A and B are shown apart, each in its own frame.
Chain A
Amino acid sequence: MIPKKLSTAELEAVYDLLSDAIDAVPQDQREVFLAKLALVLANMVGSPGQVAAAVKAAAANLGPRPAD
């Protein structure tokens, strides 16, 4: 479980900021934008172990829903 560090109000502000930022990038460049963003944030976090935990959390539950 990733510990909660942002307050709900901060999380809401980040949610709107990221949504608007994605909208501001042309669709074919959104992947590279998000990869760059992940790298910048990883550098700010400054801990390869924490970045690995973040990658694991983000990779979970992707793709099509499990068959019922």
Chain B
Amino acid sequence: MHQPETTPRDSIWYTYRVFPFRRPAELDGAEGMQPVVVVGAGPIGLVTALNLARFGVPSVVLEAEQQVSHGSRAIVLTRRSMEIIQQAGVAAPFLAKGLPWSDGRSFFRGQEVYRMVLPHDADDRFMPGLNLQQQYIEQYLVEAVQRSPLIELRWGSKVVAVQQHEEHAVLRVDTPQGDYDLRAAWVVAADGGRSAMRRLLGLRMEGRAYAGNFVIADIRADLPMPTQRLCYFDPEWNPGNNVLVHRQPDGIWRLDFRLPEGETAEQALAPALLAERIDRILAMVGHPVPWQLDWATVYSASTLTLGEFVHGRVCFTGDAAHLLPIFGVRGANTGLQDCENLAWKLAFVVRGLAPPALLTTYSTERVAAAREICEEGGKSTRFMTPPSAGFRLMRDAVLSLALEQDFVRDLLHWRTSRPHSYHHSPLNSFLDDDARFGGGPACGATLQNVKLGEDDFLFDHLGSGFHLLAFAGATPSAEQATMLRAVRDQKAPLVRVLVAPQPTAEMAALADVVLADPGGRIAGRYAARPGAAYLARPDLHVCARWLSPGAAQVGQALATACGRAAA
């Protein structure tokens, strides 16, 4: 019998709540088929369930524990992650609590050798980074899940066996009151880096693990420093290694440093040694203030991914699908892009709007992204934790040169997680005018947000489904009006957004959303002349754009993007 911890976890700043186990009907013999079961109530599993609900698909979420994340773990959300969280309808508490930032500084021998301000476009609503402890991330998502009538979150429910069938899977679920079988047409495995689902299906990841252990320690300390990424190479107290410092809400600071060669996790976490090192780090940042430890752990870097994310009726997502180096905030942020890609496709398949083959493109698009990240993250990792004498010598040479020479400094670039482009996706239209645009987001890229006014952005006006972003002049042309009327009755949900310098009553009848663009700011960002249109998938990636499309072209592009063979 599964016995999850029912005493609230220790923390000096976060009050853990133990969520009750509720006896499900299956334990008393109920049978039935769930359309989707999500395994894991971490950030990725919860956002998957919220997105499925947004597309009208109910789900059951199984979580082995009865409380949120032990320790703060993922603490930086990128702009793209916040856009995903906004689309899921839960951004408000994140913005109220999180600490936004854009500035990173790297030091060597007491001198700043690299400074990078992450680009922030005036048209972006969210800053490049938002620091927030994983406990809060999960808490806000759980609160949203509890408000949704389409999601049933089952705490204290651990998957111990999986059976795959032709058109469903059966999960054996162990609970504090016994175990039961749960049948699901589809299963989303979002159960994290140590995924039980991955183990139960006997799947192996490809790639490499890096030697070298790192300590993460969260302390409460009153440090008078702004929110930014601080990196110290080769500090006097830890020769050859490096230290990262990040600010979190509630006066908590994340310290992250590499252990000297040969030291074990157990030695590094011994209270006396850890305390001595924390004192040295605080002296190094120039503020030797009193502090209190909340949580510490040891990790190592990997660039590992499954070669396929969909196995039978089980779709892997987030850390369950790949293990990426944390340099460049690639864990949760990659996972959020995974599940944004997966949720609409799975919802469309469940609702019969698309064939199951659509899920193959989830695997190909996100495996390609994971491999790109392994490649990029590998570069940062080889700099942060040199895997051999040659890499260590070169790293030391670059740091020494960086004290006086600019030309090497870009090697200290820390390559943050970014939105991936699905430029080669089979869901893109190849009969469109992509190459004829003089700018704007190309096929495969995400839509560009645009500031419309004070606290008012383009993305605030988007809904759930495909979006056709059409641009009109003073009045829509006859062809454009015909197209907008005709595309209304699509099999797939389609939101028609009409952008015009001055909206008219006629326009309101042609579109679901009409946006005033008096200064031509939106049209400018999309390099769009009157008549042009963009088709974006529900995850806001562009899949077709035209200078002047007809309804047939839009319909065909929609069918292609839903994985239905073009007529």
Q: Residues on A close to B: CB < 8 A?
A: 1-6, 8, 11-12, 15-16, 18-24, 27, 30, 57-58, 60-62, 65-66, 68
**Among the listed B110, B236, B400, B411, which residue makes an inter-chain contact with A15, where contact means beta carbons less than 8 Å apart?**
B411
Residues of the A chain whose Cβ atoms lie less than 8 Å from the Cβ of B398: 15
The residue in chain A whose Cβ has the minimal distance to the Cβ of B402 is: A61
In the complex, the 3 A-B pairs of residues with the closest C-beta atoms, listed nearest first: A22-B390, A23-B390, A4-B407
A23→B395 CA distance, assembly (Å): 13
- Name 12 A/B residue pairs within 8 A (Cβ), A-sorted: A6-B407, A8-B413, A11-B408, A12-B411, A15-B411, A19-B391, A21-B390, A22-B390, A22-B393, A27-B389, A57-B401, A61-B109
Instruction: Decide if B406 is an interface residue (CB 8 Å cutoff).
Output: yes
Nearest Cβ on chain B to A35's Cβ, whole angstroms:
14
Indicate if the CB atoms of B109 and A2 lie closer than 8 Å: no
* CB closest residue in chain B, given A34: B393
Residues in A neighbouring B394, C-beta threshold 8 A: 15, 18-19, 22
Alpha-carbon distance A46/B327, docked complex (angstroms): 40
CB distance from A14 to the nearest CB of B (A): 9
Query: Which of A11, A18, A23 makes the CB contact (< 8 A) with B410?
Result: A11
Q: Does B404 contact A (CB under 8 A)?
A: yes
Give B contacts to A, CB under 8 Å: 109-110, 236, 379, 382, 386, 388-391, 393-394, 398, 400-401, 403-408, 410-411, 413
- Taking a contact as CB atoms under 8 Å apart, the answer to whether A18 and B390 are in contact is yes
Partner of A58, one of B382, B401, B407, B411: B401
**Nearest residue in A to B386 (C-beta to C-beta)?**
A19
CB-CB < 8 A to B404: which residues of A?
1, 57, 60-61
Do A1 and B405 have beta carbons less than 8 Å apart?
yes
A11 and B389 alpha carbons, distance in the complex (Å): 19
Q: Are A65 and B236 in contact (CB under 8 A)?
A: yes
Check if B109 sits within 8 Å of A1, measured CB to CB. Answer: no
Kindly list chain A residues whose C-beta atoms are within 8 Å of the C-beta of B405. Answer: 1-2, 57
Given A4-B407, A6-B407, A58-B401; A23-B109 close (CB under 8 Å) = no
Q: Given known contacts A11-B408, A23-B391, what 16 new A-B pairs fall within 8 Å (CB)?
A: A1-B404, A2-B405, A12-B379, A15-B398, A16-B379, A16-B382, A18-B390, A19-B391, A21-B390, A22-B390, A23-B389, A23-B390, A27-B389, A60-B400, A62-B400, A65-B236
